[in-house]
A = this chain, B = another copy of it.
Amino acid sequence: MADSDCTIYRASTTAPVNIAVIKYWGKRNATLNLPTNSSLSVTLSQRSLRTLTTASCSATYPAADSLTLNGKPQDIQSSKRTIACLSNLRSLRRALEEADPSLPKLSTLPLRIVSENNFPTAAGLASSAAGFAALVRAVADLYRLPQSPRDISRIARQGSGSACRSVMGGYVAWRAGTLADGSDSLAEEVAPASHWPEMRAMILVVSAEKKDVPSTDGMQTTVATSSLFATRAASVVPERMAAMEAAIRNKDFPAFAEITMRDSNSFHATCLDSWPPIFYMNDISRAAIRLVHDINCAVGRTVCAYTFDAGPNAVIYYLEKDSELVAGTFKAILSSSADGWDGPFGEPLKNITSPGVSLDKLDSRAVDILKEGVSRVILTGVGEGPVSVDEHLVSETGEIVTDRS
């Protein structure tokens, strides 16, 4: 082992953001991140948004595990969630090492984990989901764990609930499960991205400020105080899960869209019904809602759907064939005030010069509010799960790579 004492072991992965269409809100067990209800999301393409994480371990590292996020060292010891994930992964590695003594004893080495998002943290863009999915996937790859994505999702769930949905691509359900130990609370693929690859998502970035009430606190306030929440968790969501899975199987966009919008509204309704009340949407969010309804009404069929997470940003789903009607209309409204129209998903919009839906069919006040309040759009679409990459944030000699330009 003299030689391997200096070895730097590395594995890097990218992981995607996911945006729920049936929302996760409320835990039945906060330590294990067990939800009160199942949820369902679309994994978004990593060509637009992704976390890149390198996990490495070496006997040459200082004894304590370390984590660097967007260039800033994090205090792992104060993050029970990170500790839970790493401890689970180490146990699995140890089991491998015990079964095959020829394997290097990676489970005994300190970890150096380095992660970078290509989007602002904590701006309502589900950075923790991509972050924990990437962390767990990267360490699992470093440890060469044979576990399936389902098993990996169970571990990622303990880092951040919605992270379990980011370990798979396409259309992903997080089954709430019923067991007390959480072993049946994990992600399942409803359909791969290839089943319905035409799904597009346009994110209207309303504010990159830190949000008022962190979702971890907010959801527990809702569980404890909203008198409407139990109905949502016990009966509204289970019905919607079944209907949404059918809509995805049948590639039925109008059904997908209506359930998505109604579930977003239902989630925010339980936030408003909390005590004290929680508001994530603002007047700009409401203007986006209004315009989505106006566009669907003007077109005469449902071509777009909004959804809002724990923040004011609107995510608008539509199908590629309706790019001109949906994204083209928003581009006509926002192109003078907001960036982000280029990039891999901007291609179909390049040659659009007039709105797909005549602006005089839209509420003019909502148009003005949106123009003033949206500074950036992100064009993306359904995409794949985590991908193993050769781009490393830890050098061959174990140093953190700080300048990648």
Contacts and interface: CB of A to CB of B under 8 A. Distances in A.
A277 interface: yes
A146 interface: no
Contact of A266 (B228, B232, B268, B283): B228
Contacts of A274: 265
A289 B283 CA distance: 15
Given A227-B236, A228-B231, A272 B275 contact: no
Nearest to A235: B227
Contacts of A277: 261, 265, 289
A269 interface: yes
Interface in A253-310: 258, 261-262, 265-266, 268-270, 272-277, 279, 282-283, 286, 289, 293
A228 B269 contact: yes
B266 A227 contact: yes
A107 to B, nearest CB: 48
Nearest to A282: B283
A294 to B, nearest CB: 10
Report which residue of A227, A236, A268 has the largest number of chain B beta carbons within 10 angstroms of its beta carbon. Answer: A227
Given A228-B232, A231-B227, A231-B228, A293 B265 contact: no
A301 to B, nearest CB: 15
A57 to B, nearest CB: 45
A273 B124 CA distance: 21
Contacts of A262: 227, 273, 275
Interface residues of A, number: 28
B279 A272 contact: no
Given A228-B228, A228-B236, A268 B275 contact: no
- List the number of copies, as a whole number: 2
Nearest to A290: B279
Report which residue of A236, A261, A266, A274 has the largest number of chain B beta carbons within 10 angstroms of its beta carbon. Answer: A266
A226 B283 CA distance: 22
Given A228-B231, A282-B283, A283-B282, A266 B273 contact: yes
Contacts of A289: 277, 279
Contact of A286 (B226, B258, B265, B279): B279
A235 B265 CA distance: 21
A57 B228 CA distance: 51
A268 B276 contact: no
A268 to B, nearest CB: 6
A340 to B, nearest CB: 24
A141 B365 CA distance: 46
Contact of A273 (B265, B275, B283): B265
A293 B276 contact: yes
A277 B285 CA distance: 13
A305 to B, nearest CB: 12
Given A228-B228, A228-B231, A273 B269 contact: yes
Nearest to A225: B262
B276 A272 contact: no
A230 B275 CA distance: 20
Contacts of A232: 227-228
A234 to B, nearest CB: 10
Nearest to A240: B227
A195 to B, nearest CB: 27
Interface in A83-102: none
Interface of A: 226-228, 230-232, 235-236, 258, 261-262, 265-266, 268-270, 272-277, 279, 282-283, 286, 289, 293
Given A228-B231, A265-B272, A265-B275, 14 more contacts: A226-B269, A227-B231, A227-B232, A227-B236, A228-B232, A228-B269, A228-B273, A230-B231, A261-B277, A262-B273, A262-B275, A266-B273, A269-B270, A279-B289
Rank and list the top 5 A-B pairs by shortest CB-CB distance, nearest first. A269-B269, A269-B273, A231-B231, A228-B228, A283-B283
